[in-house]
Amino acid sequence: GGPKAAAVAGRAADGVICGAGRDPLTLRALAGAAAAEARHRPAAWASVRLAVAETPDQVAELRRRMLPRAISAARFNFGRSLAGKNVPDAFHGVLTERFASYDFAWHGRSGATPTAGMFADRPDIEDYLLDRFAVVGTPAHCRERLIELHREVDGIFLSLLFEDVLHQAGLVADLFGTDELEPQGPWARSEAGAR
């Protein structure tokens, strides 16, 4: 969703899950739109897909498996409009054209799907979508990216690879200690004593 949906969430809910991936400018804009309409400051959560590799040589395969999920997240976020979503201008035409023929029968599935090949001729767009809507890498890489993201929001909604969820859940649990993801979003600094 965009700023209109975030504003509705600000009026009606105690928080908003921003589907903007890891883009800090868009996350801030969505959180601001929700807060502008709220009687209180709603919590702003990011939503990303996560795949943790045990070794560096597994990263490329995990990125390949996560690509259709990143494309699905991008279609959800960019499908109606790219306006205000901080997408590189050079990608607008290709994203708009290809998302117009997006096959929802494969939405949200990982692995070798027709969705996975939508941008096979544009590895630059594949990398952009993966880097924006997913965190894939070694434990150290994933941990760094999630800490960076958490500085922008109150929480992070993580979506794991479905086919390997139990193994992935164990790897994710090992990424953090109990207090390492304390609230660090834009409002945590001003409301530190209120939490």
User: Coil, strand or helix: which one is 175?
Assistant: coil
User: Coil, strand or helix: which one is 195?
Assistant: coil
**Cβ-proximal residues to 129 (8 Å cutoff; 6+ apart), any chain:** 67, 70, 71, 73, 74, 119
Decide if pLDDT at 142 tops 50.
yes
- The most confident of 20-24, 27-31, 126-130, by mean pLDDT: 126-130
Q: Give the count of beta carbons closer than 10 Å to the beta carbon of residue 193.
A: 5
pTM of the model: 0.84
**Cβ-proximal residues to 35 (8 Å cutoff; 6+ apart), any chain:** 10, 41, 42
74 vs 15, more confident: 74
The lowest-confidence range among 17-26, 129-138, 179-188 is 179-188
